[in-house]
Amino acid sequence: MNLHESEKIGGILSARGYVATENEENADVIVFNTCCIRENAEDRAEGNIGALKKLKAKNRDLIIAVGGCMTQQKDFAEKLHKTFPFVDIIFGTHNLENFGTLFDRKLSQKKSVIEVLPKEETIVEGTPKFRTSYPNAWVNITYGCNNFCTYCIVPYVRGRERSRKLEDIVSECKELIAEGYKEITLLGQNVNSYGNDLENVDFATLITEISKIEGKFRLRFMTNHPKDLTEKLVKAIAESDKTCRSVHLPVQAGANRILKLMNRKYTREDYFQKVEILRKYIPDVAITTDIMVGFPTETEEDFLDTVDLVKRVGFSGAFTFIYSKRKGTPAEKMDGQIDEQISKDRIMRLIDLQNNTNREQSKEYLNKTVEILCEDFDEKKKMYLGRDTYGRMAYFKSDKNLIGEFVNVKITKTGGISLLGEIV
């Protein structure tokens, strides 16, 4: 999500004649697109902004801008301006698409431009994009979130859920395929509720419509909410020859008591049922997840419920997080905040468990041939890499640049999560 927003900021600057540079010493403009979902992301952003003070002192013409969801938090922009007065532009998530106007205003005045809108705007179409992830292209389908999970800051900094029109999404996808992109990843805080604010469309319809676009490409989407994953949608995924056989279904926790406190609106039993539906229609589906440990009041027993759920589902991958207290969320006020050491111990046990599962799953790949979309070249390994339909990463050698091509790779070695193979 943030990455694609950076592509939009890049697009707005490209349209003004700026080109990208790897070296900040050479830069005329530096934009921070921040995230505040967890405290460490926020700390890192502040550290990086602070580190630019010297550069700004050396180069007075350098324009430094800070946007994203960190600045969108209540009273944050003023605080940021006081701490880092050398920052030229401060904007939020709600006016990201208007960054160009703020930038132009800054060019014509000495004073800093600070504009963070209190409320989300209607969707703006047609923002230029400086895409950086060929052969994949990110496509927003919804903005904002209505779920209000009690730990999460997203609904406060990104506003209510808004869906882009189906025609706009499909025509963007058509253009991208015509331009040569080989993979489209649809983005939304909860893509499953796409269309709730529109008439006669839902996410299943969108998948079906995008799948009709001619040409060979892959369709992915993230992220999903278990409560909104319907049988109709799973059927649409199963019937689409473009949609990858992998679904990211964040579970967050395995204990019903914690799920309730999190306001996730499903139980562990409901979650198992969703997994069953997925496997009924897409027997080989790879399910990945997000899991949080150390949510307020989480006991060892609750954590063991999470461990049990992870074992039972057999995830193909899991992003694990230690609960991070976010200002203004209901969980911030909850009694029973968990000691960091306990959370660290729990997350390590969870990571070990998932690593073992990944190693076991990788073994099944040995000597098999898989279709990989070549995505990148690893300079250190001197190998190309890409993923199969299940999202599993494979590395392989080639003398020819294969980025953007589908290749058949025979897996010759399996270690941890990624695979090693040769083109056949």
Where along the sequence are the contacts to ligand 5AD (CB under 6 A)? 37-38, 151-152, 250, 252, 290, 292, 321, 323-324, 326
Chain residues 180-219 in contact with ligand SF4, contact rule CB under 6 A: 189-190
- CA pair distance 29, 164, nearest whole angstrom: 30
For residue 410, the minimal CB distance to ligand 5AD (Å) is 35
> Is residue 330 near ligand SF4 by the rule CB under 6 A?
no
Nearest-Å Rg of the Cα atoms of the chain is: 22
| C-beta of 243 vs 320, nearer to ligand 5AD | 320
CA distances from 398 to 289, 382, 388 (A): 32, 9, 17
Neighbouring C-alpha atoms within 13 Å toward the C-beta of 151: 24
> Is residue 154 near ligand SF4 by the rule CB under 6 A?
yes
- CA pair distance 117, 281, nearest whole angstrom: 44
Q: Contact, 370 vs 409, CB < 8 A?
A: yes
Angle, alpha carbons 336-309-273 (nearest 5°): 115
**Which of 14, 48, 101, 147: binder of ligand SF4 (CB under 6 A)?**
147
369-378 and 406-414: which strand pairing? antiparallel
> Is residue 225 near ligand SF4 by the rule CB under 6 A?
yes
> Is residue 155 near ligand SF4 by the rule CB under 6 A?
yes
| C-beta of 303 vs 323, nearer to ligand 5AD | 323
Q: Contact, 206 vs 377, CB < 8 A?
A: no
For residue 143, the minimal CB distance to ligand 5AD (Å) is 16
Chain residues 162-181 in contact with ligand SF4, contact rule CB under 6 A: none
Extract the runs of DSSP E, i.e. beta strands, from 46-169: 63-68, 89-91, 113-115, 136-140, 142-143, 162-163
| C-beta of 192 vs 324, nearer to ligand 5AD | 324
Q: Contact, 237 vs 277, CB < 8 A?
A: no
For 7, residues 6+ apart whose C-beta sits below 8 A from its C-beta are 129, 130, 131, 132, 133, 138
Q: Contact, 144 vs 21, CB < 8 A?
A: no
| C-beta of 37 vs 394, nearer to ligand 5AD | 37
Before 83, cis peptide (omega within 30)?
A: no
- CA pair distance 422, 424, nearest whole angstrom: 6
**Which of 20, 28, 148, 412: binder of ligand SF4 (CB under 6 A)?**
148
| C-beta of 106 vs 264, nearer to ligand 5AD | 264
| C-beta of 186 vs 394, nearer to ligand 5AD | 186
For residue 185, the minimal CB distance to ligand SF4 (Å) is 17
> Is residue 145 near ligand SF4 by the rule CB under 6 A?
yes
> Is residue 326 near ligand SF4 by the rule CB under 6 A?
no
Q: Which stretch binds ligand SF4 (CB under 6 A): 140-148, 205-213, 228-236, 388-396?
A: 140-148
What does 65 interact with, of ligand SF4, ligand 5AD, none (CB < 5 to 8 A by kind)? none
For residue 291, the minimal CB distance to ligand 5AD (Å) is 7
Q: Can you give the binding site for ligand SF4, defined by CB under 6 A? A: 145, 147-149, 152, 154-155, 189-190, 225
